[in-house]
């Protein structure tokens, strides 16, 4: 065959090859990935906190393995992530990847803003990685049979941080785990300018009152509606405990609208002996300790009511999803998968002191070292019999925390009848 004269079979072969070429190049791109991925998270890619350091390293590693991909982190205030994401999705300018709280999953799903990850995640990830995640978190990310997000940083969420040195002053190693015993101890811990107990009472996504109520176990949430009985006997008993904590001098009646960050800063400055805190911030609390030895920082479950096991409310926690309108779902999903490699899990644990997402990596010798002591404690809390999550569809999620926080402020700062305060909270919620 001469070059100048092609036979019909050769022409057909070339035609078939040219038709296949785009498909083949598509496969190559899918393996290597390309384009820009925009991520909305509360972390900054330039930040210096342990979690920000790890995120930056994971991005560098991902872009080194996928040189065609550019990852852009657009940090957002954490309280606004879900709202901004849904608004941006409606305007077709949503980021490809979104960090969001599990409590908002139902609302965001209702707006159709998240991609179905069952269609996007690789077969290997679905068969090997998802079963390796903590089932309690992994299962809660499936709504109406569809997985739209993956849980990140399994943690006991809002638990108690305490100073061992303060407890030692009254001859204790750890806070008591029933409210009956906890109240007088917290009162005794109030000494000079230091308060025995500090609660954030003004965050829009956290309610110390609900955390305290979980001392009655998961039965406080109605299985059908997801609501809890705001004026029921459990709520009244919880309210009475709050009043007793004030009477014992453990809670200050003039410290009423502190936010989580305020509690953190004041704890570091030595104002509290025990506080409610977000578990993934443990390493940060250690690093900013000013009024005590960081090694004296420890964690505890919440006290329970009666003979129930100590309470651990697993939420709100962070989940990661891909936008339904992402034009680069393949690359975005590949990046999400990169957050869950065994190496990534080790980095989250070693640098940021977080419980690894992949349970299998916990056989690593690191987890037997003193540096991993807090992770072992968190792990024990995750497996504790009193551990529970919020219902998948907690109603009025945008109102319930602020309203219960105002009720808590009223319980701490006024002498008004407990029943009247709870009735008002119930009426405001419309439950």
Partner 1 sequence: MTTTAIETSVDSSRALHSVARKTKIVGSALVGPALILVVAINVLPAFYGFYLSLRQVFFFADEGYVGLQNYVDLFRDPFAWQAIGRSLVFTFGSLAIAVPLALVSAMGIRRLGNWGSILLTVLLVPWAMSPIVVALLWKWILVPSPGGLVGAIFAASGVPPQDLLTDPVLAMPTLILIGVWRNFAFAAIILTGGLGQIPRDLYKAAAVDGLGAWEAFRKITLPLLAPSLLIVISMLTISYFNEVQTIIGLTGGGPIRQTTTLGYLLYHTGFVELDQGRGNAIAIVMFMINMLLIALYIKILGKQPGAAA
Residues near partner 1 (CB under 8 A): 79-80, 83, 86-87, 90, 107, 110-111, 193, 201-202, 204, 252, 254-259, 262, 265-266, 268-271, 290, 398-399, 402, 405-406, 409-410, 413-414, 428
**With respect to partner 1, which residue has the nearer C-beta, 218 or 226?**
226
In the complex with partner 1, the residue whose CB is nearer, 121 or 263, is 263
Residue 379: alpha-carbon gap to chain centroid: 15
Least distance between partner 1 and beta carbon 215 (Å)? 24
292-311: b or e for each residue (b if 16 or more CB lie within 10 Å)?
beeeebbbbbbbbbeebebb
Report the length, in residues, of the chain: 431
Task: Give whichever of 77 and 124 is closer to partner 1, judged by the CB atom.
Answer: 77
Q: What residues are paired with 277 via a beta bridge?
A: 159
Residue closer to partner 1 by CB (options 89, 214) is 89
- β pairing state of 272-278 and 195-198: parallel
Q: Which is nearer to partner 1, 86 or 138 (CB)?
A: 86
| Least distance (Å) between residue 169 CB and partner 1 | 19
Supply the minimum distance, in Å, between the C-beta of residue 399 and partner 1. Answer: 5
Q: Peptide bond before 316: cis, by omega within 30 degrees of 0?
A: yes
Cβ at position 389, least distance to partner 1 in Å:
22
Shorter beta-carbon distance to partner 1: residue 276 or 341: 276
In the complex, what is the shortest distance from the CB of residue 274 to partner 1, in angstroms, rounded to a whole number? Answer: 16
Q: Which residue, 242 or 312, is less far from partner 1 as judged by CB? A: 242
Question: From the CB of 397, what's the least distance to partner 1, in Å?
Answer: 9
Tokens linked to 361: 């990596």
Tell the burial category of 243 from Cβ atoms under 10 Å away from its Cβ (0-12, 13-18, 19+): middle
Q: Least distance from C-beta 131 to partner 1, angstroms?
A: 33
């Amino acid at each position: 065959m001469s070059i100048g004269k092609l036979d019909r079979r050769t022409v057909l072969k070339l035609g078939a090859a040219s038709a296949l070429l785009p498909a083949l190049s598509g496969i190559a791109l899918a393996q290597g990935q390309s384009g820009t991925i925009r991520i909305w998270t509360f972390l900054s890619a330039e930040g210096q906190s342990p979690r920000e350091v790890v995120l930056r390293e994971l991005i560098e590693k991902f872009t080194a393995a996928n040189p065609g991909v550019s990852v852009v982190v657009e940090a957002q205030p954490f309280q606004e992530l879900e709202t901004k994401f849904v608004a941006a999705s409606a305007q077709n300018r949503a980021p490809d990847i979104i960090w969001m709280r599990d409590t908002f999953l139902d609302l965001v799903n209702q707006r159709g803003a998240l991609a179905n990850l069952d269609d996007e995640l690789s077969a290997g990830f679905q068969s090997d990685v998802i079963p390796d995640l903590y089932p309690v978190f992994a299962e809660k990310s499936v709504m109406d049979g569809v997985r739209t997000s993956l849980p990140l940083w399994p943690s006991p969420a809002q638990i108690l941080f305490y100073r061992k040195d303060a407890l030692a002053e009254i001859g204790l190693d750890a806070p008591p785990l029933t409210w009956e015993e906890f109240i007088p101890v917290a009162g005794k811990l109030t000494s000079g300018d230091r308060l025995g107990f500090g609660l954030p009472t003004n965050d829009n996504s956290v309610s110390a009152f609900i955390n305290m109520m979980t001392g009655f176990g998961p039965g406080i949430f109605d299985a059908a509606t997801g609501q809890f009985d705001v004026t029921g006997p459990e709520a009244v008993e919880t309210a009475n405990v709050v009043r007793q904590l004030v009477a014992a001098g453990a809670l200050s009646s003039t410290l009423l609208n502190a936010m989580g960050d305020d509690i953190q800063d004041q704890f570091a400055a030595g104002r509290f002996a025990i506080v409610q805190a977000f578990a993934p911030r443990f390493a940060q609390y250690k690093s900013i300790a000013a009024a005590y030895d960081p090694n004296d920082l420890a964690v505890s479950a919440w006290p329970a009511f009666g003979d129930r096991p100590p309470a651990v409310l697993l939420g709100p926690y962070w989940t990661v999803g891909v936008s339904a309108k992402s034009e680069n779902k393949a690359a975005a999903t590949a990046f999400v998968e990169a957050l869950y490699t065994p190496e990534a899990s080790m980095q989250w644990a070693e640098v940021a002191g977080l419980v690894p997402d992949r349970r299998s990596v916990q056989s690593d010798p690191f987890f037997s070292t003193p540096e991993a002591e807090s992770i072992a404690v968190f792990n024990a809390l995750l497996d504790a019999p009193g551990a529970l999550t919020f219902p998948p569809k907690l109603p009025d999620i945008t109102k319930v925390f602020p309203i219960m926080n105002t009720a808590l402020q009223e319980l701490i700062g006024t002498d008004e009848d407990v029943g009247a305060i709870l009735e008002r909270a119930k009426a405001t919620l419309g439950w």
